[in-house]
Each structure stands twice: as structure tokens, then as C-alpha cells.
């Protein structure tokens, strides 16, 4: 594995290996000395052309805990703001001998395109509405731990409801693609105005009725409603959205006993998720954040740890 | 394993069992009792050896000695020269701070595994002392490493391969030498 651009690139063996190594990395997280020498001498550049706190920080921490040198570049304050193209910026950095680019970009497909320009490994940390593979991996990691704690630990036979703004979310597509490999059954729930075109070809059931799904889902994954969409004519008001597609206290009460609540963050309390649900015992939101570092350590290890095939 | 022409068995189950009993008693003696000991097996075959030693020490001394496993994949100095490998479980029995940790491995060869293990231990805690017990010392050291407890010194040439087979993993106990495969 040289790049990680799409969740679909991962075979079952590779995805399982990433989740397994992440388990070990999670133990490192609870040690007094959180440092492994594994990526000593490797240089990782975080290039974020879009705002991000948790993804960028967790990639940075993941690299540092494995002894890599991590450097952050944002569009603001770099030569990108002087008008240098992304390609030239990356070629410049590539010539300096960096080993890995972690890229977030507002345009779908930009990261995959960038991976063709450079010798270094490229990790997609979110491109437009397209994909966010490490988020899907950390979701899968958190799900697997939850399934192990409550039952057989298998993805097969589990129902994963992904609810909300499917149109603007890159988390959805990566989760759908990864679960296609891992075997979980994804159900998409969202208002008709917020469905991506071609969703019917994704191979998973789509419904507009959250109440129909809530009682049978093992995982209820709520997607963030981006503030700027609220005035975009996609739905009348935030309150009305919450009525139809929010995880309200009433819906929380209807969830299966062993079901868990997921949210990629940041949460809009009172819109897609009520405070009762966000703080409920079934909420795995903080586990997702904690898994983020371990999973990204594992991804960096698999990309940069050995010579591998290049 | 294929028992082809070039492989000969140098130790059988009885030899291994006697060597472990001897090492276990040496460990107790060197430590003046089994209090404050912790055994750490280096994956893969150091782990069952550490468990067996732990059982013998506990039976002989009446002290329950904690046994853990150490995976040093992330600490290997040849990591980037090989494809990424699976990382095994590291399990530390409680805290190792201020204990005497006995590292256990099957074969002592270049000494690199031991040095990587010491680095891994350093990140986990600060033992009072670290000792090294190995079933077979085959020589060919590349680093200044010496074992405290050795089951068998096995002088070999560098094109011979020493293999330790253990019942827990391989279904039988044996130490074999294979010719012409390299170290």
C-alpha cells in the first residue's frame, strides 16, 4: 500500500490489518510514555486546504507518537496564498524529500489527482463531498470494539443506519465503501433534498423515514448538518429538520438496547442530535475521537513502516 | 517442518524441559527468591517459554510470578528494510517499575532483538534490573549483548539455521539445526 485515497482501495485483509494494529496503538495511547520509534526519520506534511481541528490534530499526534517529523501547512500563510498552484507547492515539498502528504481539499478528487504528482505517499484526509477513508476506518474500529463488547464482534448481520445530510458528507461514501468490504449492512436515511445523485447505485437501501429504521439499527450514525446548508433551501428550518431526521429523546428511547450512537463531529446539539442523545450512555462519540489517533497511527505505519511494494 | 537431509535434531522435549527447570532455579537463585520478579516473553516463541518458566518458578517458590508478552515489531531496526508486518500483542503484567524483569527468548543470535526489547521496555516503565534468559545461544553477535541464563550454547556456522519448536505453537518440543539456509 503506497497511498490511501479511497476506502474502496482496501482489501478485507488490509482493512482488518489496519484495525488490528490500531488495537495495539490504542494501548500505546494509555502509556505514560506515548512514543514509538517506528517512523523515526520520516517526514509527514499535513496540507489542509480546509479548516479542521480533530482530523489535522490527530494526524499530527499520530505521526509524532511514532517519532515521525510532522509539519502543518495550511492554505493561509503558505505560498498557496501567493498564487502558487497546489501542484507546484507539492512538487517543491516532494523535492525536499518528504515521505508522506496528508491532504484535505475542498474539491472532490483533488487528493487522488495530487497523488499522481509526487513520489511520496498520499493520504486522503477528506476531499470535498467525496471521501474520508480514515474516518470510515475509525468508525469501523469503534464499531468492532462495540460489537465485541456487546456480542460476537462481527460486522456481518449488523445494521448501520447513516442519517442526515448524505449529499454533502464525505463520511457516508467512505463508510458505505468500507462496509461493503467488511460486511456490515448500511441503510441510508435522509430527506429527499439531501440525497446525492446516483445514490441508488451504491447498493444499499435508502429511506426518507427515520422512524422506520431506528428500532432495528445496531449503529445509528448521525451526520452533521452544516450551518451554511440551513439557508440553502434543503430543508425549511432547523427545527423541522430535527423533527424528521434528528436523534430526538423519543427516537433515543426506541433504539435497541445494545445499539450505539455515532457522530463524526462537530455536533450541532438540538439539530441532528439532541443533548440527551449526545450525552447518552449509548453514545460512542468520544470513543470515535480516541480511536482517531490509533487508527491514523496504524495507517501511517502501513504506508511508511516498511519498504512494501512501490 | 520437512525433516529433510539437512536438518538434525539437537535437543528433544526432555532436554528442553530439563534446561527450563535449570534456568528457572538459576533465576530464583540469582534473585535470592522469586519476590519482585516479572517474566516477559519476546514474541513469538519467547512467550510460551516465559509461561513455562513462570509455572516452574511459582511451583518451586510458592510466589506467583507475573508473566507478560512483548512485541517489538515497532522497535525493530530493520523495519524499513522489510514489508510491514503484523504487530502482535504486548501485554504487561501490571507495572514493571522497580521489578526485576527477565526477558525470555528462544534463540540468542545477533542481539538486535534484545536491544529492541530493551528500548521497548524503557517506554513501558523503569524496572530495577533487566535480565536475559534464552533457551539457545548460537553465537554470531552483532551487538554487545550477553545472556544471564542460557539453556544451551550451540556453536554454529553462519549458514546454519537454528529452529526452536514448541508444543504450544508447533505441536512438539525440539531444537533443530538446518544446514545451508543462512542464519
Per-residue pLDDT of chain A (310 residues; tens, 9 = 90+): 899 999 999 999 999 999 999 999 998 888 888 999 999 999 999 999 988 888 999 999 999 999 999 999 987 777 777 778 899 999 999 999 999 999 999 999 999 999 999 999 999 999 999 999 999 999 999 999 999 999 999 999 999 999 999 999 999 999 999 999 999 999 999 999 999 999 999 999 999 999 999 999 999 999 999 776 667 788 888 889 999 999 999 999 999 999 999 999 899 999 999 999 999 999 999 999 999 999 999 999 999 987 644 3
Q: Cα-flanking dihedrals φ and ψ of residue B90, to 5°?
A: -105, 125
- The DSSP annotation for A268-284 comes to -BTTTB-HHHHTSTTB-
Q: Specify the pLDDT at position A307.
A: 64
Q: Which residues of A touch B82 (CB under 8 A)?
A: 306-307
Q: Specify the pLDDT at position B181.
A: 58
Q: CB-based contact (8 Å) between B79 and chain A?
A: yes
Q: Which residues of A touch B81 (CB under 8 A)?
A: 306-307
CA distance B79 to chain A (A): 6
Q: CB-based contact (8 Å) between B2 and chain A?
A: no
ipTM of the complex: 0.73
Q: Which three cell numbers stand for residue B173?
A: 518440543
Q: Specify the pLDDT at position B102.
A: 97
> Which residues of chain A are at the B interface, by a Cβ-Cβ cutoff of 8 Å?
17, 20-21, 24, 27, 31-33, 35-38, 66, 301-302, 305-309
Q: How many CB atoms lie within 10 A of CB B83?
A: 11
Q: Specify the pLDDT at position A218.
A: 97
Q: Do A38 and B79 touch (CB under 8 A)?
A: yes
Of B74, B81, B88, the CB nearest to A38: B74
Q: Which residues of A touch B80 (CB under 8 A)?
A: 305-307
Nearest CA in chain A to B73: A38
Q: Are strands A260-262 and A185-189 parallel, antiparallel or unpaired?
A: unpaired
Which residue, among A214, A218, A224, A171, has the nearest Cα to A189 in the 3D structure? A214
Q: Do B83 and A306 touch (CB under 8 A)?
A: yes
Q: Do A31 and B123 touch (CB under 8 A)?
A: yes
Question: In chain B, which residue ranges form alpha helices assigned H by DSSP?
Answer: 13-30, 46-61, 112-124, 167-170
Q: Do A306 and B82 touch (CB under 8 A)?
A: yes
CB B85 within 8 A of CB A306: yes
CA distance A242 to chain B (A): 44
Q: Give CA–CA dist A29/A34, Å, rounded.
A: 6
Q: Which residues of chain B have a pLDDT value below 50? A: 1-2, 182-183
Amino acid at each position: 500500500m503506497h497511498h490511501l485515497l479511497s476506502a474502496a482501495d482496501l482489501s478485507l485483509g488490509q482493512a482488518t490489518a489496519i484495525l488490528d494494529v490500531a488495537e495495539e496503538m490504542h494501548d500505546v495511547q494509555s502509556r505514560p510514555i506515548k512514543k514509538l520509534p517506528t517512523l523515526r526519520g520520516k517526514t509527514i506534511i499535513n496540507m489542509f486546504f480546509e479548516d479542521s481541528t480533530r482530523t489535522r490534530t490527530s494526524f499530527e499526534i499520530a505521526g509524532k507518537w511514532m517519532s515521525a517529523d510532522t509539519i502543518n501547512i495550511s492554505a493561509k500563510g503558505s505560498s498557496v496564498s501567493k498564487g502558487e498552484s497546489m501542484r507546484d507547492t507539492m512538487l517543491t515539498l516532494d523535492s525536499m524529500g518528504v515521505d508522506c502528504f496528508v491532504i484535505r481539499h475542498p474539491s472532490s478528487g483533488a487528493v487522488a489527482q495530487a497523488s499522481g504528482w509526487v513520489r511520496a505517499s498520499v493520504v486522503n484526509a477528506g476531499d470535498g463531498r467525496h471521501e474520508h477513508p480514515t474516518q470510515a476506518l475509525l468508525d469501523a474500529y469503534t464499531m468492532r470494539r462495540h460489537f465485541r463488547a456487546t456480542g460476537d464482534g462481527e460486522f456481518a448481520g449488523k445494521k448501520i443506519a447513516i442519517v442526515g445530510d448524505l449529499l454533502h458528507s464525505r463520511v457516508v461514501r467512505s463508510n458505505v465503501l468500507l462496509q461493503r468490504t467488511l460486511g456490515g449492512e448500511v441503510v441510508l436515511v435522509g430527506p429527499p433534498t439531501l440525497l446525492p445523485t446516483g445514490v441508488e447505485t451504491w447498493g444499499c437501501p435508502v429511506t426518507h423515514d427515520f422512524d422506520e429504521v431506528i428500532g432495528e439499527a445496531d449503529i445509528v450514525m448521525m451526520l452533521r448538518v452544516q450551518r451554511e446548508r440551513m439557508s440553502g433551501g434543503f430543508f425549511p428550518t432547523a427545527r423541522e429538520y430535527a423533527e424528521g431526521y434528528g436523534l430526538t429523546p423519543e427516537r433515543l428511547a426506541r433504539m435497541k438496547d445494545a445499539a450505539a450512537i455515532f457522530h463524526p463531529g462537530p455536533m450541532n446539539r438540538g439539530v441532528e442530535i439532541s443533548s440527551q442523545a449526545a450525552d447518552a450512555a449509548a453514545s460512542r462519540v468520544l470513543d470515535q475521537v480516541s480511536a482517531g489517533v490509533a487508527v491514523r497511527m496504524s495507517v501511517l505505519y502501513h504506508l511508511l513502516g516498511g519498504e512494501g511494494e512501490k | 517442518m520437512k525433516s529433510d537431509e539437512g536438518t538434525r535434531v539437537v535437543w528433544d522435549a526432555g532436554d528442553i524441559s530439563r534446561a527450563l527447570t535449570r534456568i528457572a532455579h538459576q533465576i530464583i537463585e540469582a534473585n535470592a527468591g522469586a519476590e519482585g520478579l516479572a517474566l516477559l516473553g519476546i514474541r513469538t516463541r519467547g512467550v510460551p517459554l516465559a509461561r513455562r518458566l513462570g509455572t516452574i518458578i511459582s511451583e518451586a517458590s510458592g510466589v506467583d510470578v507475573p508473566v507478560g508478552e512483548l512485541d517489538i515489531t515497532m522497535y525493530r531496526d530493520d523495519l524499513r528494510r522489510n514489508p510491514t508486518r503484523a504487530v502482535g500483542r504486548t501485554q504487561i503484567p501490571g507495572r514493571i517499575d522497580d521489578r526485576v524483569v527477565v526477558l525470555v527468548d528462544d534463540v540468542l543470535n545477533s542481539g538486535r532483538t534484545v536491544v529492541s526489547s530493551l528500548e521497548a521496555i524503557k517506554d513501558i516503565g523503569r524496572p530495577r534490573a533487566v535480565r536475559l534468559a534464552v533457551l539457545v545461544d548460537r553465537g554470531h553477535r552483532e551487538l554487545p549483548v550477553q545472556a544471564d541464563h542460557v539453556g544451551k550454547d550451540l556453536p554454529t556456522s553462519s549458514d546454519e539455521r537454528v529452529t526452536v519448536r514448541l508444543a504450544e505453537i508447533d505441536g512438539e518440543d525440539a531444537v533443530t539445526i538446518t544446514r545451508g539456509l543462512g542464519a
